[in-house]
Amino acid sequence: MNKVMIPKFLAVALASTLAVGCANNGNKSDQSSSSSTVTEKSTDLEKVGYSIGYATAESYKESLDDLNLDTFEMGFRDAYDGKEAALTKEQMQEVMTKYEEKKQAEMMEKMKQDAVTNKAAGDKFLAENAKKEGVKTTESGLQYKVLKPGTGKPVAGSEMVKINYEGKLLDGTVFDSSYDRGEPVIFPVEGMIPGFTEGLKLMKEGSTYELYIPADLAYGETGNTGIDPNSTLIFKVEMIEVNPKMPEQPAQ
């Protein structure tokens, strides 16, 4: 008989929960001997099981925000103990497919709503920001402010640059920072999002700029990791060197 196909976003969570059951139970039968409370004095296997379970729930609570934990545990125990399933394989497959379709539809609707909200917030911010002293707006809609002028080599176009930078959202959330990693990075000028590339081309060695990048010059309606759809981005960029010497690659 074919196994029930589990949606990908559930598969890892269920696999991890299986590990919890195995860690908590060396035998396949009753787990009543295990303590219902985990403390520093619990056995190593009890603490391993709790740790995996906690990490799994923490990682997947957003995508599994409506999971019925009671029936989940019932199904897990029935399968683990070799009991006959309360539903047929076909019924389980059908309900899992519908559930995945429902969650995907909800996710797409949320992305659409976020895109509208973020676009409005970005437009409002840029309109107000454009009036501030020192802020300039290019033809494309990119805004920038020179925090420190540079006197070194200008960025011409397609070369590599060595920079320090910090990227954040309008609410101040930092989503990427070379400062946090403790070292500058080397980027191809043309390899970045359009607004970032345009901003780099305005800079000279030794300069520090703040870039205010509209969503259509950033990640647009698709967004990116840690960046919601239609987010306006703010970057602080320090231009260290144009066409830097590339680090030597280790010998093979």
d(CA 146, CA 135): 8
Query: Domain 115-242 carries which CATH code?
Result: 3.10.50.40
Q: Convert the pLDDT of each residue in 168-204 to its tens digit.
A: 999 999 999 999 999 999 989 998 999 999 999 999 9
Q: Convert the pLDDT of each residue in 19-68 to its tens digit.
A: 444 444 444 434 444 456 899 999 999 999 889 878 877 887 777 788 88
Structure tokens at 81: 């103990």
pTM for the structure as a whole: 0.67
3-class SS of residue 143: strand
Q: Convert the pLDDT of each residue in 116-126 to its tens digit.
A: 999 999 999 99
d(CA 24, CA 169): 42
Question: What pLDDT sits at residue 16?
Answer: 45
Question: What pLDDT sits at residue 248?
Answer: 61
Question: What percent of the chain stands above pLDDT 70?
Answer: 83
**Residue whose token pair is 């020179």:** 146
- Own/partner contacts of 224-230, CB < 8 Å, gap of 24 or more, are 225/175, 226/173, 226/175, 226/176, 227/169, 227/175, 228/114, 228/115, 228/118, 228/169, 229/111, 229/114, 229/115, 229/118, 230/114, 230/115, 230/116, 230/118, 230/119, 230/122
Would you say 141 and 218 are in contact if contact means Cβ atoms under 8 Å apart? no
Question: What percent of the chain stands above pLDDT 90?
Answer: 60
> DSSP letter at 160?
E
Question: What pLDDT sits at residue 13?
Answer: 46
Q: Convert the pLDDT of each residue in 86-114 to its tens digit.
A: 999 999 999 999 999 998 998 889 889 99
Range from 47-61, 135-149, 219-233 carrying the lowest mean pLDDT: 47-61
